[in-house]
Amino acid sequence: MLEVKHLNVSVSGRRILHDLSLSVRLGEVAALMGPNGSGKSTLSQVIAGRSDYTVDSGDILLEGESILGLEPDQRAAKGIFLAFQYPVEIPGVATLTFLKAALNAQRKTRGEKELATADFVKRVRAAASGLKISQEMLKRSLNVGFSGGEKKRMDILQMALIEPSLAILDETDSGLDIDALRVVADGVNASRSPDRAILIITHYQRLLDYIIPDTVHVMSEGTIVASGSKELAVELEKSGYAAYAPPPAAA
């Protein structure tokens, strides 16, 4: 599904990702763990198509095809979805208006027909109730005045509606209390599917108590330093990240 090959990325001349390789299969839930500043968020933004980063070498393949030349919206239409660490507030754009614009834009890019309003509203209601998102919230400006938990739930709602083939959740657990964490985790678990790859980025093991990953990758100083099964996350929680610092030569 997703293959990151020997990726080197820099921003304003400073190298952030070093020879990073990672692959996630369809149907797999992969966790990417690592300390603050290890480049996890950078990787997620580069996959989503952020233009501030320069890919110096390497490639990112989605279903065998390079996506490096694609715009963020083209990547979205190909099935990539990024849940933001800090979902962006957009004053003046009603949440429902935004959701409809997003769904229809992707359908249009894929050559599908626009959703009828009744059909759209039905889908939103169904997905929103599971995530405890009220109708009132849907009428408000997107993410404006939402609590941290509400913003994260709104991103998960978008994921549920958009039905991506690759979902990247960037620190979705940060800033959530235990109840909100459970609601978000339930939302993610509900979207586990053989037709979807999910990459969860976190620096705590806590979220992985609720969303059990198939694989765990550890990132440090811009590269993957260890990969393993879900037990690796438990081990990390005990030992900390210090043991996984890359050898000095690679830094």
The binding site for other proteins (CB under 8 A) comprises: 48-50, 52, 71-73, 75-77, 80-82, 84, 87-88, 90-93, 97-98, 101-103, 105-106, 109, 141, 158, 162
Least Cβ distance, residue 46 to other proteins (angstroms):
12
Least Cβ distance, residue 182 to other proteins (angstroms):
25
Is the Cβ of residue 101 or residue 126 nearer to other proteins in the bound state? 101
Is the Cβ of residue 87 or residue 187 nearer to other proteins in the bound state? 87
Is the Cβ of residue 93 or residue 234 nearer to other proteins in the bound state? 93
Is the Cβ of residue 105 or residue 234 nearer to other proteins in the bound state? 105
Least Cβ distance, residue 218 to other proteins (angstroms):
26
Least Cβ distance, residue 225 to other proteins (angstroms):
28
Is the Cβ of residue 48 or residue 176 nearer to other proteins in the bound state? 48
Least Cβ distance, residue 219 to other proteins (angstroms):
21
Is the Cβ of residue 158 or residue 205 nearer to other proteins in the bound state? 158
Least Cβ distance, residue 151 to other proteins (angstroms):
11
| Per-residue H/E/C for the chain | CEEEEEEEEEECCEEEEEEEEEEECCCCEEEEECCCCCCHHHHHHHHHCCCCCEEEEEEEEECCEECCCCCHHHHHHCCEEEECCCCCCEEEEEHHHHHHHHHHHHHHHCCCCCCCHHHHHHHHHHHHHHCCCCHHHHHCEECCCCCHHHHHHHHHHHHHHHCCCEEEEECCCCCCCHHHHHHHHHHHHHCCCCCCEEEEEECCCCHHHHCCCCEEEEEECCEEEEEECCHHHHHHHHHCCHHHCCCHHHC
Pull the structure tokens for residue 112.
């599908």
